[in-house]
Structure 1
Amino acid sequence: MRMSLRNRIALAAALLAPLVVALALVPFRTHMTSANLALILVVVVVAVATLGSRAGGVAAALSAAAWFDFFLTRPFQRFTISHGDDITTTFLLLAVGVAVSQLAAHARTLKLVTVTDAAHLARIHETASLVQAGGSPYAVVDQVGHQLTEILGLRGSRFEHGTLLGRHPRLEQDGSVTVGRAHWDLDKDGWPGEEIELRAQVGGRYLGRFMLEPEPGTVPPPLQTRLVAVSLADHVGAALDTTGPVLDR
């Protein structure tokens, strides 16, 4: 799985930022207590954790503890510590840095989930309102097609009307993907390497399907997002059932 640009930047910052800050603190190491020097490095760890992943925060905490030992405790420029208090401070720096970085990363994740949930709810509400208003099935199909492309990170999608559905990998109602009759492990294997069928249905009747075209090499979205996609497709089924079939254009 490829690391995102954001996480690559965060990992580089995790390795380099504590080193740069520790070097900047060298002129002050004889005038400041070890605890104060360590607190400054904890701030660096938190900054890195808010930028990247949990792994980046842990890497920053390890880097901060190592450079604190090397530059800011006696004997200087050696990975040894001669004073017991400095040993304690180093371990506390590492422990606090890891703990705080995890909290920062978790807070960022919760914020992302909240924002994502709100956006998904808005899409579902927008589509449901269009269906309830008796909107053209063309408009509903087009709107959902654009939404599916956006939320699933697709190259594109198209809608095929009718009940004669061929054999393609299928995005099921529970958000899983099947190939033939076998379950496909999205987390391990990514998207199947071909178009994926998402059926538009109502009351157990199939009225058409979206053919989803994943972008090669992309990571499938989480289950929550896939379930939103299923719900959007079902709104298309409701629109077709209420207003009649979508004719070929």
Structure 2
Amino acid sequence: MTDFPLRDRIAVGAAVVVPLLIAGVLVPFRGSLSSTSMALIFVVAVVAIAANGSRVAGAVSALSAAAWFDFFLTPPYESFSISRAEDVSTAILLMLVGLAVSQLAARARRLQVVVVTDAAQLRRIHETTEVAQAAPSAEAVVDHVKQELIELLELRACRFEYGTLLGHPPRLEQDGSVTAGRRRWNVDEHGWPPEEIELRAIGNGRYQGRFMLRPSPDARPSLQARLVAVTLADQAGAALDTAGRGTPER
């Protein structure tokens, strides 16, 4: 599904409204505050929205901030034109800095998901690393990861396919999202897609095979769990690559 999670939809709404509200609050002070000072206030708002939303929310908030800064806070007021060169520079920098910082904030949010992984999920990663180091074969690592994925993602079953890719099943991506065809599927709201889902095992940039996940009907694994699943699959991929089983990724 293409729907954003509720949190991200709220953040996009805030990205449109909050810069407008900030501009309204600053209007009485536009004669006493410098353009740079007012622009910094907008940047703080952009960072806050991006950190609690998505890249889309951060980008929208940066563009909204630049637009309302221009409209309300630079002469001629209440017009999308700017008469002073320094205000032009400030507006452009506000948009560029806002866009850049929002991307960093959104990335930090995703990284935080991995950092706060609970003890049970950290144990899965650690145990799989130990298995990969001690297992007599790469296939033993694959079997171990299959069992871990069944428990972690609440699957009915999981199998591993070697060789070339066939068909276009839904896919669990490297960033933990799920795509079905060309669309993003919202696992948080709708659960897994009804058919088998592909999770590719990549080792050293080479496609090694894929885990085919058969989901339980009511399972809604968190983004955190899905990211751990990707990590486990890549550990299996690394073991297969070391064993020389892989082919270039397609």
Output the TM-score relative to the length of structure 1.
0.61
Letter in 1 for 2:216: E
Q: Secondary structure at the match of 2:77?
A: coil
CA-atom RMSD in angstroms: 4.2
The answer (yes or no) to whether the contact 2:169–2:196 under 8 Å persists in 1 is no
Q: Relative to 1, partners in 2 of residues 1:119 and 1:23: Cα closer, same or farther, differing over 3 Å?
A: farther
Letter in 2 for 1:188: A
The answer (yes or no) to whether the contact 2:36–2:90 under 8 Å persists in 1 is yes
> How far apart are residue 193 of structure 1 and its match?
2.4
Q: Relative to 1, partners in 2 of residues 1:56 and 1:119: Cα closer, same or farther, differing over 3 Å?
A: farther
Query: For 1:100 and 1:227, how far apart are their aligned partners in 2?
Result: 27
Q: Relative to 1, partners in 2 of residues 1:104 and 1:171: Cα closer, same or farther, differing over 3 Å?
A: same
Query: For 1:195 and 1:87, how far apart are their aligned partners in 2?
Result: 53
Q: Relative to 1, partners in 2 of residues 1:74 and 1:188: Cα closer, same or farther, differing over 3 Å?
A: same
Query: For 1:107 and 1:127, how far apart are their aligned partners in 2?
Result: 26
Q: Tell me what 2:201 maps to.
A: none
> How far apart are residue 68 of structure 1 and its match?
0.3
Query: For 1:73 and 1:127, how far apart are their aligned partners in 2?
Result: 58
Q: Please state if 1:225 is matched with 2:229.
A: yes
Q: Tell me what 1:86 maps to.
A: 87
What do the CA deviations read for 1:89-144 (whole angstroms, capped 9, x no partner)?
A: 1001101111111111111211212333865232466899xxxxxxxxxxxxxxx9
Gaps of 5+ in 2: 130-145, 172-178, 186-191, 198-212, 236-250
Query: For 1:65 and 1:125, how far apart are their aligned partners in 2?
Result: 46
Of 209, 212, 216 in structure 2, the residue corresponding to residue 213 of structure 1 is: 216
Letter in 2 for 1:225: A
Q: Tell me what 1:2 maps to.
A: 3
For residues 28-47 of structure 1, what are the structure 2 equivalents within 5 Å? 28-47=29-48
For residues 195-206 of structure 1, what are the structure 2 equivalents within 5 Å? none
> How far apart are residue 31 of structure 1 and its match?
0.6
Q: Secondary structure at the match of 2:180?
A: helix
The answer (yes or no) to whether the contact 2:125–2:228 under 8 Å persists in 1 is no
Query: For 1:211 and 1:102, how far apart are their aligned partners in 2?
Result: 34
Q: Please state if 1:188 is matched with 2:180.
A: yes
Output the TM-score relative to the length of structure 2.
0.61
Q: Which has the larger radius of gyration?
A: 1
Where do 4+ consecutive residues of structure 1 move more than 3 Å?
A: 116-119, 123-128, 144-149, 189-192, 214-224, 226-231
> How far apart are residue 225 of structure 1 and its match?
1.1
Give the number of equivalent residue pairs: 191
Q: Tell me what 1:13 maps to.
A: 14
Gaps of 5+ in 1: 129-143, 159-169, 197-209, 232-249
Q: Tell me what 1:102 maps to.
A: 103
Q: Relative to 1, partners in 2 of residues 1:91 and 1:184: Cα closer, same or farther, differing over 3 Å?
A: same
